[in-house]
Amino acid sequence: MKRQVPLLICGIAGAFMAVQYFIPACLPIYDRINDYMQIVRAFAIILGLASVIQRHYGRVRRSGPENKRHPDWVYSLAALVGLGVMLLAGAIGGREQGTLFQNLFNAILLPVQATMFSLLAFYLASAAFRAFRTRSLDATILLVAAVIVMIGRLDDGGAVKLPEIARMILNGPNLVAKRAIILGVGLGMASTALKVVMGIERSYLGSGKE
Amino acid sequence: MRLSQLMDWMLALDRRVIYTLVFVGVTFPFYVNWPPIRIDVSPEVEATYQVIDQLEPDSSPLLLSFDYDPAAAAELTPMAEAVLHHCFSKGIRVLVISLQYTGLGAGLANEIVPRIAQQYGRVQNEDWAFLGFQPNAVVAMLQMGESMRNTFPVDYYGTPYDEIPLLESIQNYAQIPVVLSLASTAVGEYWAVYAGSRYGLRVLTGVTAVYVADIQPFYQTGQISGVLGGLKGAAEYEKRIERPADGTNGMRSQKVIHYLIILFIVLGNIAFWSAKRRGE
């Protein structure tokens, strides 16, 4: 029963979502299922929050035979404090412009995340210098195409029509490859969905035995 | 120093030298407004501009979805600001949402939209409204196709849907002429697939530069009506609305860094081939 019931629910729900597209009378049920999905997602956030608190609290508190904290407990404490402060700031002070919540977001979270992403520029430059070698014909073609696109995207090299060539590379070979990948992924998703709905693919149920 | 020694030195170049050059290359142009840049408006950006420009003032709003987090803010915030300047200067209404899964997109929207609306004296809930964030992008897109009210019963600030004048006549996508999704993930594609194909909603996207290649097939087929691609897309839009700002300034840094990376590639290959010829 532990496996049959979830398989049945999945099969019925999956088949309904495929069929409802063609039958307007199914709309009220379809709307209701969408609501359920949002509610499930909201609970997933609560679950994630509980998991984060549990994990970091476990690192902060003293435990084990030696009654010691985890070596990185300070970072966990920072995570917990950050979580608590943002929750309280949002719940008590509101989220409008000028509130503590929005100021913390603007002054800490925004620059921190932007900084993490901007580090890519440094790694990219270093990798370009060390790894982008013309070792083979394929690598040379890739390198030449990359240089043309980099210059063309700056609208430079107009005299030798580099912007047009860059556009041609993006809209020609790139598009062909992308479209092939998208079609492949789409067909793969459809076949996997079909296998899940029909109960052939059951790995989402876990490996537990009845 | 002999040539072979120079090549060896280049091959063993300390990464900190490269990092320093990149740091200087990024920051220097912001202070000296150099190098000069040329910005040509691409067909994708022109199409985006035309679709937004043709929206009626004080009528059905542009649906603007902040589907990115602060990591992509350097590229996508200039786009958001340019589009908002365009809309508010022309009296086009804007309905803002965020489907970025962590909710950080909502924080960005909450910082950007009221600030620019204020510059033009646009009134909250009449000329613009911010409905907030939904975590499950695909489901939210499908829900909005049936009922905007059910998807966002209250706005970001807790105002009930029915108390927002801008939303009086809006039931679902049928009353929305176009959506612009500013996305750093596949959400831009989802808009085309779930809102565009199923409900016939016209879709525009603004994406990070690395995502342009992914979104371009949808533009070519007409499933997406316009694309703003990366910082350059933002700069092109700024040029189109004749209001150069962060996108245009950022292109100077991008120009320096592009040429710096090309220089690194060339030098790295010269050193590589030199070492190979010497049998190393």
Distance CA B203, CA B224 (A): 5
Q: In this structure, are residues B209 and B228 in contact, taking their beta carbons and an 8 Å threshold?
A: no
Point out which residues pair with B64 in neighbouring strands.
Answer: B96, B180
Q: Do B220 and A175 touch (CB under 8 A)?
A: yes
- pLDDT score at B58: 93
Q: What is the pLDDT of residue A130?
A: 87
Contact residues for B93 (Cβ-Cβ < 8 A; gap 6+): B58, B59, B60, B61, B62, B87, B127, B128, B166
Asked if the structure places residue A1 within a domain, the reply is yes
Position A36 in a domain? yes
The answer to whether residue B69 neighbours chain A at the CB level (below 8 Å) is yes
| Count of domains observed in chain A | 1
Q: What residues in A contact B74, CB-CB < 8 Å? A: 114, 117-118
* pLDDT above 70 as % of chain B: 99
Q: What is the mean pLDDT of residues B28-50?
A: 95
Token output for A57 = 């609290």
Q: How confident is the model at residue A208 (pLDDT cuts 50, 70, 90)?
A: low
Contact B220 A125 (CB under 8 A): no
The answer to whether the Cβ–Cβ distance between B269 and A154 falls below 8 Å is no
- The length of chain B in residues reads 280
Q: What is the mean pLDDT of chain B?
A: 94
Q: Which residues touch A33 (CB under 8 Å, ≥6 apart)?
A: A13, A16, A17
Contact check, Cβ <8 Å, B265/A129: yes
- C-alpha span between B65 and A187 (Å, rounded): 29
> Which residue from B40, B135, B212 is facing A155, i.e. has the nearest CB?
B40
Residue B122 and residue B93: Cα distance in Å, rounded?
9
Contacts of A153 in chain B (CB under 8 A): 209, 232, 258
Please tell me the predicted confidence (pLDDT) of residue A210: 47
Q: Measured between beta carbons, which residues in chain A are less than 8 angstroms from residue B134?
A: 38
**Containing structural domain, residue A60:** 1-93
**What's the pLDDT score for residue A200?**
92
| Among B229, B227, B249, B247, CA closest to B85 | B247
CA distance B186 to B68: 10
Determine, for residues A128 and B232 on separate chains, whether the beta-carbon distance falls below 8 Å: no
Do B69 and A113 lie within an 8 Å CB cutoff?
yes
> Which of A37, A133, A143 is facing B136, going by the closest CB pair?
A37
Chain A contact set for B256 (CB, 8 A): none
Q: How far is CA B115 from CA A51, A96, B84, B119, in A?
A: 36, 11, 10, 7
Nearest CA in chain B to A176: B217
Q: Choose, out of B269, B272, B274, B277, the residue to mutate when testing the contact with A (most A CBs < 10 Å).
A: B269
Nearest CA in chain A to B211: A178
Mean pLDDT taken over chain A: 91
Query: Does the beta-carbon distance from A31 to B251 stay under 8 Å?
Result: no
Half-sphere exposure for B108 (CA within 13 Å, toward CB) = 33
| Structure confidence at residue A207 (pLDDT) | 66
Which residues make beta-bridge pairs with B180?
B64, B204
- B118 phi, psi to nearest 5 deg: -60, -35
| Confidence at residue B84, expressed as pLDDT on a 0 to 100 scale | 98
The answer to whether residue A82 sits within a structural domain is: yes
pLDDT greater than 80 at residue B48 = yes
Contact between chains at B40 and A163 (C-beta distance less than 8 A): yes
pLDDT band at residue B6 using 50, 70 and 90 as cut-offs: confident
Q: Identify the sign of the CA torsion B196, B200, B201, B204.
A: positive
CA atoms within 13 A on the CB side of B277: 10
Q: Which two tokens stand for residue B123?
A: 């009134």
Q: How far apart are CA B236 and CA B164, in angstroms?
A: 34
Determine how many CB atoms are found less than 10 A away from the CB of residue A126: 19
Question: B71 CB near a chain A CB, below 8 Å?
Answer: yes
> Which stretch, A35-39, B184-188, B253-257, has highest mean pLDDT?
B253-257
> What percent of chain B lies above the pLDDT cut of 90?
86
Instruction: Write out the two tokens for B87.
Output: 């809309």
Q: Does B156 touch chain A (CB under 8 A)?
A: yes
pLDDT of residue B132: 95
Q: What is the average per-residue pLDDT within B111-139?
A: 95
User: If you average pLDDT over residues B88-110, what whole number do you get?
Assistant: 95
CB contact (8 A) between residue B22 and residue A125: yes
Do B113 and B97 contact (CB within 8 A), yes or no?
no
pLDDT surpassing 90 at residue A192: yes
* CB contact (8 A) between residue A155 and residue B38: yes
Residue of B37, B40, B110, B232 for testing the chain A interface, max A β-carbons within 10 Å: B110
Structure tokens at B178: 């176009």
Token pair 């920072």 is found at A78
Residues in chain B closer than 8 A to A167 (CB atoms): 42
Is residue A1 over pLDDT 90? no
- What pTM value is reported for the model? 0.92
- pLDDT, position A37: 87
User: Chain A within 8 Å of B34 (Cβ-Cβ)?
Assistant: no
**CB burial readout B71-80, b (16+ within 10 A) else e:** bbbbbbbbbb
Segment A118-164, tens digit of pLDDT: 999 899 899 988 888 999 999 999 999 999 999 999 999 999 999 99
Q: Nearest to residue B85, comparing CAs of B120, B55, B130, B114? A: B120
Instruction: Show which of residues 173-232 on chain B sit within 8 Å of chain A, judged by CB atoms.
Output: 198, 209, 212-214, 216-217, 220, 232
Q: How confident is the model at residue B28 (pLDDT cuts 50, 70, 90)?
A: very high
Which CATH class for the B43-244 domain?
alpha beta
Judge whether A155 lies within some domain. no
Question: Which pLDDT tens digit goes with each residue over B221-237?
Answer: 999 999 999 999 999 99
Map tokens 């420009």 to a residue: B53
Round to whole Å and give the CA distance between A58 and B36: 55
Which amino acid would we find at residue B153? Answer: P
B268 touches chain A (CB under 8 A): yes
Cis peptide before B43 (omega within 30 of 0): no
pLDDT at A35 over 90: no
Question: Which DSSP symbol is given to B61?
Answer: P
**Residue A117 located in a structural domain:** no
